[in-house]
Structure 1
């Protein structure tokens, strides 16, 4: 990357066409019977470009396959302690082979997060042709003065863009013949943001479809990942509101390439902030491949019910305070309910139920808003309300705090327990979110 250029990336979901459909599948095809093949250039592309779609399809029961063209040997590494793995590092002697192996391991972890069980590299197994090598090296790229990706002058002779197109297309066609996907997905002609390997992946996949045209192995629908938003594009658009959680977890697996900087933001090694979006859009590249036209689809045919983008700070603030008030008020109503087993033993089950109410309210607030402080705000609000009920009017208090008898102990437990419950919720949700990446 040159220091003079500012890297450019398209914004996902920037333009939604009026006639957009909300599924990649042919009309009438059951999700459990669908097979979809995604073709990507490098490890991490599947997660950052189509992770929400792939995750949602897999979650909904479709059979999702991935073909990766290279192992990403020319990638830049974020962790500078691994800089020696970079192919362009003067100290490197393996041409990026070790980095490719590391990125393959990251890819396996990402696919597990997405729920994708079928993966092949170009040149391996069924994705191989007679004239095709067993491995295609990453071509690399550089940033042009216009901020667009352009060819890398140091690309190796055995890289994807410097080897013949025809064997690559034949290898992709061979995989299609075995998988028999109903739907094929790759880049559009611009490769998204212009990476040479992305463009070559489109060209090779397009050529593979041409080789299969008219045969029973040809996919019914062929989609390209939408790059720059273009309101004048008349091709059919598909808008997928996919699985944001699976996408984010999969992206987090590619630690050499991606830094997750927030709940819905990330950066590559160039440090350009980008959104992690559940919305991914596609353009139809072929709708009469096997004589089957795209049937009209409606939004209720989306790939899966998926989580939405987390609400903003103001919405989260209002939600947390409202839940704290609701939990504090309802818990106060039943906090003094006590089960007297005998004269010596009793259980303040109402206070315990009130604490559980705060715990679940705080947990829901954190998960719904995607913000850890929501749990603390729920607990603080509930405790403040309880304190008002206990001390605002001494002659007719609603919460009696004085640990000398069962009602007083129940009141004390309810007041202090609300803070403990919110703290436990904060710990639990924080561990849950860290585990998910």
Structure 2
């Protein structure tokens, strides 16, 4: 055991295969008619490992249930004021029981964010079998000298990994029979990053599936969360570009375990910076493959934004076009009556710059591209207004309608450019 080693966490999306699909839902089924059961080891795993997927599924109308194997009693606590709740803290006398209760409350808040329908711990509800345990303790873990997760030498005798697998599998099988999910999602054999409870959860689920094989309770498909991607892995891959907002807020609910450090970053108690990834990948463990989309490819799904040079050229061209076009028709005025006039040309000109700048920021994924569109349009307008003293293209002198609209056209460009940056930022955030 070496707790000073740099911990290893795989990053989803580093490898996307050519035959990847972009859904977990079997062919011919609508999300609204699909039930998925996620099986995780501890509170917070559902959010950090699959939160973007769950949020996307529930937003699409799918029904998502969650089975959690333990209550996370062996977790490390971030808040110094709650350190005494840690099972291995010198002042602790309840072996993490209160921490498990707190993490259960955190889990409930997280599931509200994700839109999960029902939740149970192993040993509860349909997984409660006569004469078997109603509570399984977190096994904990340590970091090996290679930075990989390893078994906890202090794991209790009543923890998940030290108790027999068969009763656990029978309890999960009973849960599957009761819920009848179309799809099950759990860990791959490596447990993601290797946590012993994650690996045991995979073993339990696969053993449970053996118990219901060939019955009406058998799911159509079973997916495993992809850990370290392998080029030689020929199993079908699913790539889910999910909802980062729901994932982030669900992770935030697990405050004893997770600190949200930015819109797309977080840390566990070990202070290792990690991304909040909206991309989550899975490998088929069992069941029917999904038909890949005929025209989409993995490359197209993750096409990169234009580089800086192309972005500069695109934004500059849009600035010249929108600035010139707006200048040509900004002075179109409808004189309704004496003293009453409507500058419809000005409104159209400003909308031209707004849409050009917004498109540039979204297409290039760079807010400075919108700024460049506005800057070029503004400089062009200034050239038209002041390059020649008798220029009539842009008349800036607010003493009459043409002078008023000329002034508003020139300085309005700056305002609509700022609005375009706000609009583009909100669009990208919504569609992450």
**Aligned positions, number:** 427
TM-score (normalizing by structure 2): 0.82
Conserved in 2, the CA contact under 8 Å of 1:310 and 1:369? no
1:10 aligns with 10
CA gap 1:426/1:25 in 2 versus in 1, 3 angstroms: closer
Matched residues in 2 for 1:310 and 1:264: separation? 18
Gaps of 5+ in 1: 288-293
The equivalent of 2:237 in structure 1 is: 238
Cα deviation for residue 195 of structure 1 reads: 0.4
Q: Distance in 2 between matches of 1:331 and 1:248?
A: 42
The whole-number CA distance in structure 1 between the counterparts of 2:80 and 2:359 is: 38
- Cα distance in structure 1, aligned partners of 2:317 and 2:76: 46
Match of 1:334 in 2: 329
Q: Residue 426 and residue 173 in structure 1: after superposition, are their counterparts in 2 closer, same or farther (change >3 A)?
A: same
The change in CA–CA distance for 1:2 and 1:403 in structure 2 (over 3 A counts) is: farther
The corresponding residue for 1:51 is 51
Following superposition, the deviation at residue 54 of structure 1 comes to 2.7
1:298 corresponds in structure 2 to 292
**Residue in structure 1 matched with residue 418 of structure 2 by the alignment:** 423
Q: Is the 8 A contact 1:39 1:201 kept in 2?
A: yes
Shift of 1:9: 1.9
2:328 & 2:157 partners in 1: Cα distance? 76
Question: Is residue 384 from structure 1 mapped to residue 383 from structure 2 by the alignment?
Answer: no
2:150 is matched with 150
> Closer, same or farther in 2 for the Cα pair 1:75/1:399, shift >3 Å?
farther
Partner of 2:140: 140
**Would you say 1:401 and 2:393 are equivalent positions?**
no
CA RMSD in angstroms, aligned pairs only: 3.7
**2:33 maps to which residue?**
33
Within a 5 Å distance, the mapping from 1:307-322 to structure 2 comes to: 311=305, 314=308
Whether contact under 8 Å (1:132, 1:167) holds in the other structure is yes
In 1: Cα distance, 2:161 partner to 2:52 partner: 28
Partners of 1:101 and 1:175 in 2: CA distance: 22
Deviations, residues 116-153 of structure 1 (Å, cap 9, x unaligned): 33333323323322244443333222111011101223
- Residue 155 of structure 1 deviates from its aligned partner by 3.2
1:180-219, CA deviations, whole angstroms, 9 ceiling, x for partnerless residues? 1122121111101110110111111112112212221121
Distance 1:34 1:370 in 2: 34
Asked if the contact 1:2–1:142 (Cα under 8 Å) also holds between the matched residues in 2, the reply is yes
Equivalent residues of 1:366, 1:372 under 8 A apart: yes
Change (3 A) 1:338 1:119: farther
**Mind listing any 5+ residue stretches in structure 2 that lack a counterpart?**
none
Counterpart CA distance in 1 for 2:354 and 2:73 is 47
Normalised by the length of structure 1, the TM-score is: 0.81
Cα distance, 1:39 vs structure 2 = 0.8
- CA separation in 2, counterparts of 1:162 and 1:336? 80
1:16–1:422 Cα change, 3 Å = closer
**In the alignment, which residue of structure 2 is the partner of 1:344?**
339
Counterparts of 2:221 and 2:206, CA distance in 1:
12
